[in-house]
Structures are given as C-alpha cells and as structure tokens.
A and B are shown apart, each in its own frame.
Chain A
Amino acid sequence: MNARTLFIPLTLFVVIAFLIGPFLIIVAASFSAGETLAFPPQGFSLRWIAKVFTVESFRASFGMSLFLAIGGTAAALVMGIPASYALSRYKLPGAEVIRTVVSAPIIVPGIIVGLALLRYIVVPFGVGISLALFLAHTALVLPYAVRVVSASLDNLRSDIEEAAVLLGSSRLGAFFRVVLPNIRGGILSAFILGFVTSFNQVPVSLFLSGPGVRTLPIDMIAYMEIVFDPSVAALSSLLAFLSIGIVFAAERFLGFSRYV
C-alpha cells in the first residue's frame, strides 16, 4: 500500500475519531470510580450514574427543561402548522418576508437572541423567568416546526382538500380530515427535532435563567463550576443515550430523515 491509498482511510478515521471521540471520552469518564472528572477513568463504578438521580437541582432543572421542550415545541407547532399551511397553500403577499422572519432565530446567534430578549423584553416588561424561557424556547423551535411541516405539506397534493370539499366537507373539516392525517409523520418529526433543540439549548437559556429557575444544561454548567466530579459526565451520557434513542425510534418508525 502506498501513501496515496492510505490517505483516504486515514482521513476518514481521523474525522470519525474527532466526531465521536469526545462522546466516547465522556461515556468512559462517567463510569469512573475516581473522585474527579478524569480521562482515562480510574477503575469502574456506577456510583456517579446513581449520584445524578440524587442531586436535587438536577431534578428540578430536568423538570424545567422537559416542560420547556414539550411545552415550547407544542406551542411552536400550534403556531407553525397553520403558518406552514398558509405559506404553502396561498400566494401571500410578502410570503418570503414571513418565511425569513420565522427562520430568523436559526440564523441569529443564540447569545444575541438571549441578550436581546433579556434587555428589551424581560427587563422592561417585568416578564417572569419561567414565562421568558417558555417564550424564548417557543421562538427557537418555531423555525424547525415551520420548515419540517412545510416540507411534508409540499409533498401533499392540495387537490385532495378540494376532493374532500366536493364530497361534503367544509374547508376546515378538510384540513382536519385529510391534511392533518397525511402530515402526521412530519409533525412528529418536527416535534422530535424541536424537543431535542430545546432540550440542548444553552446560549439563550443562559441569559434567562434566574434564582431557582434553570434549564438542565445551564444547571450542569453551574454544577461543574463548584463540584468537579464525574456526575456531570454521567448525566451527559444519559442525555446523549436518550437523544439517540429518540432519534433512532423516530427514524425506525417515521422515516425521520425524509423531513429533516
């Protein structure tokens, strides 16, 4: 084998190592028996995984993150599905402007969104922290909801709605009877994507966390600043496996990758 034929497999190996390496290190570190976060791990134990479940603030912030991920995504879908429908079915004046505005939260760096929300919405209007987080997460997930739902609407012929109407259905009835059932896969995909995006969100939440109200990622950062034990690695591994499980199930049952 000469250098030329070695180059490609070698590059491939380096790239893959670079992508999954950190993840493997975290997983290995979470099974460490040592007192500090370290790699290679010292010995083997499940004590840090068990510890995760005993930390009170993790439980509270996990609950907060779960609420934001589910509630924010649901709210984004409630707004996003009608918006996608209008954008894909009607020739709206300024449709492109609406599309751009709706996808702005993806383009603008999260840190700026967070700061702007804090400075111009939360502080002047005295919005509560939980509500501010909920609104921010809804806005962040909205672009994904619109994009994924639009993609599945574009794949659906619009004449089936007219067919439903001619068979006696109202326009609204046609939406619920023939549109919604046919974009179910897209909606579920959007939900999963939104859930994962919201759950892993750091920069925006960073600005909007307050006393006693934190999302899980922010809580993990705060925890690491004080305690440097492997429980953060253990929690990260658990979350990563949860995400992988969800995405795998989605791909298996819904053909997730068709929509994203």
Chain B
Amino acid sequence: MSDQSYLSLEKLTLAYGDTVAVADLDLDIRRGELIALLGPSGCGKTTTMRAIAGLLPVKSGRVRLDGADITHVSPNKRAVGLVFQSYALFPHLSVYENVAFGLRLKGMRGADLDARVQQGITSVGLSNFANRRPGELSGGQQQRVALARSMVMEPKVLLLDEPLSNLDARLRLEMRTELQRVQKETGVTMIFVTHDQAEALALADRIVVMKRGAIEQIGSPQDIYNRPQSSFVADFVGFENVFALEGGKLKANGHLYDLQGDVPSVAGLAWRPRMVTLGEGPFRGTVRGTSFAGDRREYLLDTPLGPIKAEDDASAPVHELGTELAFDLPARKAAPLASFT
C-alpha cells in the first residue's frame, strides 16, 4: 500500500494541550483520490485535517506527502490548500485580488499572473464578478472564489472543511458537481470533512469514518452504506435498528430472542427501517408513531426489544396508531457487525 501512497499519516497523535484529540492514526491516501472524513462533531476529523494543513502541530507520528516527510514543514511551504467552512475570503480584496493573493506571494507578476487569475475565476464561472468584494457575493459564489483561490496554487492536496453544509439544497448539488469536475479535470487529491453521510456517500471515492479520534472503518461508499463493520458506523449511516448478538441469539433489554433464518456468528446485526418485515413474524409491537414520507410510510413501534423503526410502501394499508402488529427482523437481510459497542 505504501508504494502507491501519496499522502500518509503514520501513528499520528494530535492534542489540544493535554487533551488527546486523535490517537495513533494511520491512513494512506493515493494520488488523485477523493476522500471523505466522516464522523460526528468531536470525532477528530477537523483536527486531522488541520494537522495535514500544518495548522496544528503534531504531537507524535509522521505526515508524508509525495515522498517527503512534511511533519514539521510550516503550513506556508506545504503546497496544501484548504477551503474553509466559512470560506475565509479576504474582505478588503476583490475577487480578483483574493485569487491573485497566493500567486503574488509566489512572485508571479504581469501577464502570467493575470492569465492564471482569469483562468481560475473563469473556471468557477465568476468572470463577471472579478471586481466585486466578497461581501457582495452569495455564499455559493464566495465558496467558489475560495475554491479558485486554492486551486490556482496547484496544491498537492486540497482540503475542504464541510464544503456543502452552508449551502441550500439546490446549491449543494451544484457545488457537488463542481467539486467532482475540478477533481476530475485537475486530478488533485481531495480530502473533505463532513458530518453528513449523504454528502460523503455522494462525493467520495473512499470514506473514512472516524469516532473519538480513531478510524472506525475505511471503505468505498457502497461498503460503508451496505456493509458497516461496527454498530457505530451502522447507526451513523442509517441502520436504525442495531442489536448485539449472543450465542446466535439477539440480545435486547437483557433478554435473548431467537431469530429466523441462519444467524452469522458476529458481534451484532443491524437493519435499516425498510429491512424490517411488517405484518408477519415472531415479534409483536404497538404502533407509537407514523409519518408519511412520499413513496413510503415510516413507523415507530414499541416492542419488548425496545423501539423499532420500520417502513412500508405508501401504497400498503396504513397501520393506525395503537394497533398491535407482528413484525420480523430477518437475519438474512441484516448487516453483520464485527464489533458492537
């Protein structure tokens, strides 16, 4: 793996004072990959990103980029770009000057500079806004300026902090397409941080799920979505019904329950709401909540196993509140979990 690794984090430990935020993290990223660091707030994803940028000193371990050890290289000499969540545009400079900022520091002047800046601004579709100040632009436009400002520097790695979270739904799709296009055209290695699983699934080549300063699972979006390895990842990507197994039986509220079908010998099983069979099966529950979600209907059941979330086609007969209902958690549909916490 390390032969083709472009950016590697080796036993990386990061701390704020005495509080360790990330411990012994190992991660290898190939050139041109689009990686998502996914996790809830406080999982260390932003901390890891800041350490790659060099904005946070490394407590121990190494950061290697393109064959060189950059652990102690200062952030202004790393060739790592960062698009901030707040965009961090320079308010006193025009769009043009924001994009030209880094190039000027590199000593670029005159026609070379102008050509690069114009190309950068045009590539994000803002050529008519070159003379505007950041304050006169919408959030989406500001983000594109921030993207152009980083990209004209031709960074080895581009980091993005929650790139879609400040945008409305329509702009989000637009920006997602934009990021994929930039990545495809330039082949830049991109790492973005997000707490939104849908964002990570839609955009990334590989997803790194983090929990409390450590990597919980690395995999393709399909892997993460369909084959979560732990109860934490399962819960995070929408498996609402997650249970531990004990001796081939489902363990819930201190009791053991038999499941139908072949039960794999793993630590736990997880079901998405639509994997729960409603109307038949060995378990019984009472409908406590129901809501219409367009093509389907969601149910919340009170059961001896605890609350169960289930879904049915919207065309199926509606189960009213308070009805008692049979249901099944079919073992063959469940995602097997190697670890349960």
Contact = CB atoms under 8 A, between A and B. Distances in A.
Interface of A: 157, 159-160, 162-170, 173, 177-178, 181-182
A114 B240 CA distance: 72
B92 A167 contact: no
Contact of A178 (B80, B90, B106): B90
Given A168-B76, A169-B76, A170-B76, A163 B106 contact: no
Contacts of A159: 84, 86, 88
Nearest to A182: B92
A160 B153 CA distance: 17
Contacts of B102: 167-168
A162 B89 CA distance: 11
Given A162-B55, A181-B92, A168 B86 contact: no
Interface of B: 53, 55, 75-78, 80-82, 84, 86, 88-92, 101-102, 105-106, 146, 149-150, 153
Contact of A163 (B78, B90, B92): B90
Contacts of B105: 167-169, 173
Contacts of B146: 163
B75 A163 contact: no
B90 A164 contact: yes
**Which are the 7 A-B pairs with shortest beta-carbon distances?**
A167-B102, A163-B88, A168-B105, A159-B88, A181-B92, A160-B88, A168-B76
A167 B151 CA distance: 10
28 contacts: A157-B86, A157-B88, A160-B88, A160-B90, A162-B53, A162-B75, A163-B82, A163-B88, A163-B149, A165-B75, A166-B53, A166-B75, A166-B80, A166-B150, A167-B101, A167-B102, A168-B76, A168-B105, A168-B106, A168-B153, A169-B76, A169-B105, A170-B76, A178-B92, A181-B92, A182-B90, A182-B91, A182-B92
Nearest to B92: A181
Contacts of B78: 166
Contacts of A170: 76
Nearest to B91: A182
